[in-house]
């Protein structure tokens, strides 16, 4: 007989903490000078990693530009857009999406002024075209911490935030993580798999861990 996981007692709900993965924070020269760089701590023991967004607690996440509207989604008309473009007004405050450590913060080609944060959940987030960066590599930030101001540096025709989510250096659809219409965190599991040099990220509805592979095989 299979025993299903038990929900915590009501008295213990307030003590729940968001799960944390081991991340590398002793950044190499490459890590502080390039955006798409993997973390040596990822896929260290397995070719599959799971990030259960439903276990991230209130206060441990924040929408990066509160009040913003989407002006260009992932993929876009040319299918090469690596993130979401969202905007409110010039010099609006950008905040960190999750707790983590700043890995990169400086101008970078068409990105303009850009910030990359490595998070304790295993993800990295990218914030670009900023008019100003408030943080530097090595800074520890909490979800909701102001990290910069929106701008139009780099290749941008209007002031906005270009926001990316990456796993092991590879970008994927940020809509797997955030609902951009509700500006809230989604409650799904991200199944991250490595095959050779290829990394894939697939969202599935949150399930007990022992059922994820079985459910994934049906899709």
Q: What are the residue ranges spanned by the domains of the chain?
A: 59-182
In this model, does residue 195 exceed pLDDT 80? Answer: yes
Residue-level pLDDT at 213: 52
CA distance 128 to 94: 10
In this model, does residue 47 exceed pLDDT 80? Answer: yes
Give the E-state strand segments of 15-139 in sequence order: 48-52, 69-72, 84-87, 93-95, 100-107, 113-119, 123-130, 132-133
Q: Taking the CA atoms of the chain, what radius of gyration do you get in angstroms?
A: 18
In this model, does residue 11 exceed pLDDT 50? Answer: no
In whole numbers, what is the pLDDT of the chain averaged over residues? 89
Q: Domain spanning 59-182 has what CATH number?
A: 2.70.70.10
- Beta-bridge partner residues of 113: 107, 130
pTM: predicted TM-score of the whole model, two decimal places: 0.87
In this model, does residue 10 exceed pLDDT 70? Answer: no
Q: What DSSP element (H or E) covers 214?
A: helix 209-218
What is the per-residue pLDDT across 172-190, written as a single tens digit (0 to 9) for each? 999 999 999 999 999 999 9
CA distance 106 to 52: 31
The average pLDDT across 72-91 equals 86
Residue-level pLDDT at 205: 84
Residue-level pLDDT at 14: 54
In this model, does residue 211 exceed pLDDT 60? Answer: no
Residue-level pLDDT at 83: 94
In this model, does residue 219 exceed pLDDT 50? Answer: no
């Amino acid at each position: 007989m299979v025993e299903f996981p038990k929900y915590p007692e009501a008295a213990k709900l307030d003590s729940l903490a968001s799960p944390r993965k081991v991340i590398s924070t002793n950044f190499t020269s490459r890590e502080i000078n390039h955006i798409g760089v993997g973390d040596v701590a990822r896929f260290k023991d397995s070719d599959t990693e799971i990030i259960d967004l439903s276990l991230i607690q209130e206060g441990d996440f924040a929408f990066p530009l509160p009040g913003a509207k989407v002006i260009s989604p992932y993929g876009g008309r040319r299918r090469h857009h690596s993130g979401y473009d969202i905007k409110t007004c010039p010099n609006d405050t950008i905040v960190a999406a999750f707790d983590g450590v700043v890995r990169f913060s400086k101008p970078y080609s068409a990105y303009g002024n850009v910030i990359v944060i490595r998070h304790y959940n295993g993800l990295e987030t990218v914030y670009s075209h900023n008019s100003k960066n408030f943080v530097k590599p090595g800074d520890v930030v909490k979800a909701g911490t102001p990290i910069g101001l929106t701008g139009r540096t780099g290749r941008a025709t209007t002031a906005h935030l270009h926001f990316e989510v990456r796993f092991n250096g590879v970008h994927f659809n940020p809509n797997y993580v955030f609902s951009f219409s509700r500006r809230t965190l989604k409650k799904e599991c991200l199944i991250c798999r490595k095959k050779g040099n290829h990394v894939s990220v697939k969202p599935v509805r949150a399930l007990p861990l022992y059922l994820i592979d079985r459910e994934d095989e049906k899709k």
